[in-house]
Structure 1
Amino acid sequence: MKMMGGHGHDEPFYLHAKHMYNLDRMKHQTLKMSLSVLGAFSIGVFVPIYAVIFQQKKTASG
């Protein structure tokens, strides 16, 4: 039985943290990165808007 180093998944690329996030090897890189940037941007926009609306409803009902 072969002993696997690291985590036993994709050893040359997953053994150390410096190889864990190789964006060059990602499949569908432009789609995934654009979706993640759009998701982070939309969370950054909608959370403060929701917080303001929630706070105004809370103040108006009291």
Structure 2
Amino acid sequence: MGAHGHDEPYYVHAKHMYNLDRMRYQKLTMSVSVLAAFSIGVAVPVYAVIFQQRKTVSA
């Protein structure tokens, strides 16, 4: 049965579920995904530093 036994007909892992070679618009999708992940990875620490400095000044 497994962890997803209750929705078995709808949730079945395919043999090649994550086949990136056959992805439509592969270059665009991967470029946007990498750019988004990098942007989040940069923005969160920058926001945290600004927030902490602003909190320190107001105290």
TM range (shorter): 0.7 to 0.9
Q: What TM-score, normalized by structure 2, do the two folds share? A: 0.74
Candidates 9, 13, 17, aligned match of 1:16: 13
Count of matched residue pairs: 52
Taking the aligned partners of 1:30 and 1:55, their CA distance within structure 2 comes to 38
Distance 1:54 1:22, change over 3 A: same
Quote the sequence identity (%): 71
Q: What TM-score, normalized by structure 1, do the two folds share? A: 0.71
4+ residue segments displaced more than 4 Å: none
What are the within-5 Å matches in structure 2 for residues 1-62 of structure 1? 6-7=9-10, 15-16=12-13, 18-62=15-59
Unaligned runs of 5+ in 1: 8-13
Unaligned runs of 5+ in 2: 1-7
